[in-house]
Chain A
Amino acid sequence: MGNATQEKQIAVSVRNVSKKFGKTPVLEDINFEVAEGETIVLLGASGSGKTTILRIIAGLETPDSGSVVLHGKDVTNLPARQRGTGVIFQSYALFPKMTVEKNIGYGLRLRGTPRNEIKESVKRLIELVHLEEHSHKRPSQLSGGQQQRVAIARALAYNPEVLLFDEPFGALDAQIRTTLRREIRALLKSINVPSIFITHDQEEALELGDRIGVLNSGHLEQIDTPFNVYNKPETEFVATFLGAANLLIGVVYEGKIALEKTYLQAREEAKEFQNGQSVKIVFRPEDVFLRKPENLVQNYQELAGGTVEEVNFVGAFERVIVRLDTSTRQPIIVTRPKTETLIFPLETGQKVTAGLVRFRVIPNFTLASERAGKIL
C-alpha cells in the first residue's frame, strides 16, 4: 500500500498547456503527468511540438495558457533558473572552456555550495557516469557518448526536479545509440529521478519509456505504456507512427465489425461505437496469420481470402504482401517469423486466407482535417 502511494506521487504535471508561435498553434491543450522516478518519452515527428513542451517545462518558453507544476509547486511564472530542472540538450551544450569537473560543478557553484562539498559531489557523479580518467579534460576532447554522460552528471549535480532530455541520441552513431540507451535506462532506474525524453525514434521510445506520449501536430494523441501504445493505439496516427500497421474500413454492427463478407467479433472494442458507425480496424503485420483457405484454425478470426503478391526475405522475418479478395482489393502487409515460413512456405500468386490474432478498432474520420493521419 505504501508502495502504491509512493508510485502515485506526481513529480511533474503539465496542465492544459497551449502555445502559438505567431498565428501557428504549436501545442493544443496538452495534459500529462510524470510520477516520481518515472520515465516518459514524448514521441513525434519534427514540428509536432515536442521540443516546445520540453522548453515550456524548463522555463525556456512560456505557454500562452495552462500551467506547469513541479512537485506540487506551480512554476509557470518562474524563470528557468528558479525551476531546478536538468536539461540535457541535443548538442549537450557543455561549456567548452570548462573541464569535465567544472562543468559538473557549475550548478552547485551557482548555488554557493562550499568548495569541498562541490568537490565531493563532483567526484561521486564522475564515478556514477564512469568518467574518472576524463575529469580534467575539456568537452572537445571527449567522445559523443562521454559528453552525454557529462551532460547528465552536470544536470544531476543539483538534484533536479526532473531531467529533460532533448533528442539525446540524435547526434550519435546508430551503434553507440543502442548501447547508450541501455546505459541511460539503467542509470535512470538506479537514481530514480523523473525524466522526460523527446524523440522521433519509435524504437528509442519503446525501449526507454515507462510510458510513451505520442504527439501529432501539437496534440497529445495518446499516452500509455509502450505495450498499450503499440498494441492498443487509440488513433490512426498512433497506429501508423509506431511501427507498420494495416488499416481496413468497416462498419459496427451489434458487437461486430462488418467487413464486406466477414464479421469480426469485437464485443469490447465495439462498445464505444454506435451501430452503423464507420470505423477502421488496425492490425500489425505480425498479427496476421496466413493459411491455406481450408486450414484456418479457429483461434484466429478470419479476415478475408487473398492472393500472395510479394514475398520478401528481410532478415529475421519474412514480409508478405497479400491482396485481399475484397471489392477494394486492398493489399495488406504480413510479417512471418522463420519458423512459420518453414511450416507454410509461400509463393507469389498463391491463394491464402488471412486470420487476425489481434486488432484494434478506431473511429473512421473521413475528413483529413479531423485527424491528420497517414493512410496506408
Chain B
Amino acid sequence: MSANLSTMRHVHGFDLVKPLSLAAMIAIMLPLILLPLASIFIFGTSKGLTSFWHALTAPEAIFALQLSLVTSFWATLFNVIFGLFAAYVLSKYNFWGRNALFVIISLPTAIPTAVAGFSLLLLWGPFGILGQYLPPEMQIMFTPYAIILANIFVTFPLAFGVIKPVFDTMSHSFEEASATMGATRWQTFWHITLPGLRGAIFSGALLTFARSVGEFGSTILVSGNLAGRTQTAPLYIFAKFNEGQVEAANAIAIVLAIFSFLIFSILFFARDWLEAE
C-alpha cells in the first residue's frame, strides 16, 4: 500500500505528505500556542482601542512597565559584563575546577524561579542569613533592588552562554598577532577581542533583557508585589487578574507579548547580519 502511494507520488510529482504534515503541525500548535496568543489581542481590543489605551495608560500600569524595564536593564548590564568576564576567564585559562565553575554558572537555568526567589529571601530577607545584619534602612528585600537581584539570578547564564562559544571559536592567533604588534592585554581586548564579540554581546543582552522583563516566579517572592512601588509588569498582570480587572491585565499582556515578539524577531533576523559585521 505504502509502496503504491510512493509510486503515485512520484508519478504525479506531488508529495502528499508535505501539506498533510504542515497542516498537522499547525493544528497542534493552534490550541497550544497560537490561539492563546491571539486571544490576548482579540480580548484586549474587543471593547475598542480607547478602552485598551485607557487601561494601558493607568499610572500603576505605566509604573509597572517602567519598573520592569529599569530593573531588567540593570540586571542585563550586570550579566553581560559578568558573562563576558566569566567567558574570558573560562576560555583563556585552564585550571582545576574549571568545569565545576562552568556548571555553577549554568545552574540558574535549571533551578525553578520560585526556588531562586525563595533562596534570595532566605539570604537577604530581614531574618535571612545575611539580611539580619543589615540595618533597617539598608534592607534590600521588597525593594526594586531585590527585583534586580532576582533578575540577575534567573538570567545569570544567558549572556555567558551566548558569549562563551564565540570566545572559544575565536582564533588565538588574533591575540598573538596583536601582542606582537605591540598591544597590551587590555588594548588587544578592546580593539580585537571585543569587536569580535559584538554580535554575541548584543544577542546575549537581548536574551537576558527579554527573559528579565518576563520574570515572575522569583520577583513575586522578593518584591513584595506592592502596586506602584515594587510591582513589575508580570506581577501587575497577575494582580489585576486576581482583582477581576481582566482588561487592565490584558493591556499589559499585549504590550509584553509584542515586546517579546519584537526581541525574538530581532534575534532571529539580525543574527546573520550581526555575524557578518
Interface residues of A (CB under 8 A from B): 58-60, 79-87, 89, 91, 93, 95-98, 106-107, 110-111, 154-155, 158
Contact = CB atoms under 8 A, between A and B. Distances in A.
B173 A80 contact: no
Given A87-B176, A97-B195, A155-B181, 12 more contacts: A58-B176, A59-B179, A60-B179, A60-B180, A81-B179, A81-B183, A95-B177, A95-B195, A96-B196, A110-B181, A110-B187, A154-B181
B191 A58 contact: no
Contact of A110 (B173, B182, B195): B182
Residue in B173, B176, B181, B192 with the greatest tally of chain A CB atoms within 10 Å: B181
A154 B198 CA distance: 24
A234 B165 CA distance: 50
B184 interface: yes
Given A95-B192, A97-B196, A107 B171 contact: no
Given A106-B191, A110-B187, A93 B182 contact: no
User: Interface size for chain B: under 10, 10 to 19, 20 to 34, or 35 or more residues?
Assistant: 10 to 19
5 contacts: A80-B179, A81-B179, A87-B176, A95-B174, A97-B277
A107 B192 contact: no
B186 to A, nearest CB: 11
A79 B181 contact: no
A87 B191 CA distance: 18
B233 to A, nearest CB: 37
Given A81-B184, A106-B191, A93 B179 contact: no
A93 B173 contact: yes
Nearest to A84: B182
Contacts of B171: 91, 93
A304 to B, nearest CB: 53
Contacts of B192: 95
B173 A111 contact: no
Given A96-B196, A97-B196, A107 B176 contact: no
Contacts of B187: 110
Residue in B178, B180, B196 with the greatest tally of chain A CB atoms within 10 Å: B180
Given A93-B171, A93-B174, A95-B174, A87 B196 contact: no
Nearest to A164: B180
A158 B177 contact: no
Contacts of A96: 196
Nearest to B185: A81
